[in-house]
């Protein structure tokens, strides 16, 4: 049986969860929440890592082209989220010692919420915003001159990013895109990063307005596509997870 969110599953389902998939996905989501209990409750926390937040995006033709696409397509809160997702993902790679393609991760991060952008949101009949956005991203990359394998890897990473888990053997960039997005949306693994580093990231790309913007987007997805991963996660309490993420409050 194909794993939910895998390329094989995406082709077969277009992102719609069967009843069996819903049960599997819900069990995985609940198990993940148990594993993610605060480290202070379960064990002594590890020292937080001080990391360099002053990271330059890849300066390549493809990266610049996708910067323009994302800047014109995404509302400001989602654009900031996309850039922070890349920053967090690159930091998780450093923490975990994962080798990865920075351009591919950056491009995937810029485009991973394309399916939530005005003018790019799929029709109500579509199975999943992430799958729809992944296909759009693939086509944009092919039109921009990316080779087919590169475009496929970005597409697979974006389609998988709304999973509960994305294992490393699905690709380093897919794994890090998922991890970076989850840091930014619900604060998962934020406790592994030094407060000074977190503050520097938020000064560079403020999180102002993101929680409200993303919550409304997920509420809409749950209404339009209740059988999608977003729809199920919304019913399982995604809004509470977003609201309780402990990010520093901006000064002033």
Q: How far apart are CA 75 and CA 118, in angstroms?
A: 8
- Count of alpha carbons within 13 Å of 153, Cβ hemisphere only? 21
Give which of 3, 2, 5, 1 is closest to 178, Cα–Cα: 5
Reported as a pLDDT band with limits 50, 70 and 90, residue 57 is very high
Tokens of residue 185, six digits: 């949306």
Alpha helices in 43-171 (DSSP H): 61-73, 76-96, 102-111, 129-143, 148-160
DSSP code of residue 247: P
Tokens of 132: 């729809």
Closest of 87, 89, 86 to residue 52, by C-alpha: 87
End-to-end distance of the chain based on CA atoms, in angstroms? 52
Question: Taking the model in full, what pTM does it have?
Answer: 0.94
Rounded-to-integer distance, Cα 31 and Cα 24, Å: 11
User: Coil, strand or helix: which one is 151?
Assistant: helix
Q: Quick one: CA torsion of 197, 211, 81, 99, rounded to 10 degrees?
A: 60
Band of the pLDDT at 67, cuts 50, 70, 90?
A: very high
The predicted pLDDT at position 166 comes to: 97
Where exactly are the structural domains of the chain?
7-243
Which tens digits make up the pLDDT trace of 127-154? 999 999 999 999 999 999 999 999 999 9
pLDDT tens, 93-107? 999 999 999 999 999
How many other C-beta atoms are found inside a 10 Å radius of the C-beta of residue 42? 11
**Other residues' Cβ atoms within 10 Å of the Cβ of residue 3:** 17
| The pLDDT value given to residue 25 | 94
At 49 the three-state DSSP class reads: strand
d(CA 92, CA 130): 22
CB 181 within 8 A of CB 108: no
Say which residue the tokens 């654009």 belong to.
Answer: 79
Provide the pLDDT for residue 172: 98
Query: What is the reported pLDDT for 35?
Result: 60
Does the pLDDT at position 114 exceed 50? yes
Angle of CA points 51, 55, 56, to nearest 5°: 170
């Amino acid at each position: 049986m194909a794993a939910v969110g895998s390329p094989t599953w995406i082709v077969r389902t277009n992102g719609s969860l069967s009843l069996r998939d819903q049960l599997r996905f819900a069990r995985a989501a609940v198990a993940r929440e148990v594993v993610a209990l605060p480290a202070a409750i379960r064990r002594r926390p590890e020292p937080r890592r001080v990391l360099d937040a002053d990271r330059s995006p890849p300066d390549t033709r493809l990266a610049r082209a996708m910067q323009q696409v994302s800047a014109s397509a995404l509302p400001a809160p989602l654009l900031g989220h996309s850039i922070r997702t890349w920053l967090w993902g690159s930091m998780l790679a450093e923490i975990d010692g994962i080798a990865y393609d920075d351009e591919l991760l950056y491009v995937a991060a810029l485009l991973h919420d394309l399916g939530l952008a005005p003018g790019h949101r799929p029709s109500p009949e579509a199975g999943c915003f992430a799958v729809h956005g992944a296909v759009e991203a693939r086509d944009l990359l092919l039109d921009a001159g990316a080779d087919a394998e590169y475009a496929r890897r970005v597409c697979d990473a974006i389609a998988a990013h709304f999973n509960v888990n994305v294992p490393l053997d699905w690709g380093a960039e897919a794994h890090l895109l998922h991890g970076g997005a989850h840091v930014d949306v619900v604060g998962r693994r934020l406790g592994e990063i030094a407060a000074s580093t977190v503050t520097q990231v938020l000064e560079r790309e403020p999180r102002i307005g993101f929680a409200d913007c993303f919550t409304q987007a997920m509420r809409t997805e749950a209404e339009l596509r209740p059988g999608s991963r977003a729809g199920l996660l919304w019913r399982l309490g995604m809004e509470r997870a977003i609201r309780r993420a402990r990010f520093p409050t901006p000064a002033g």
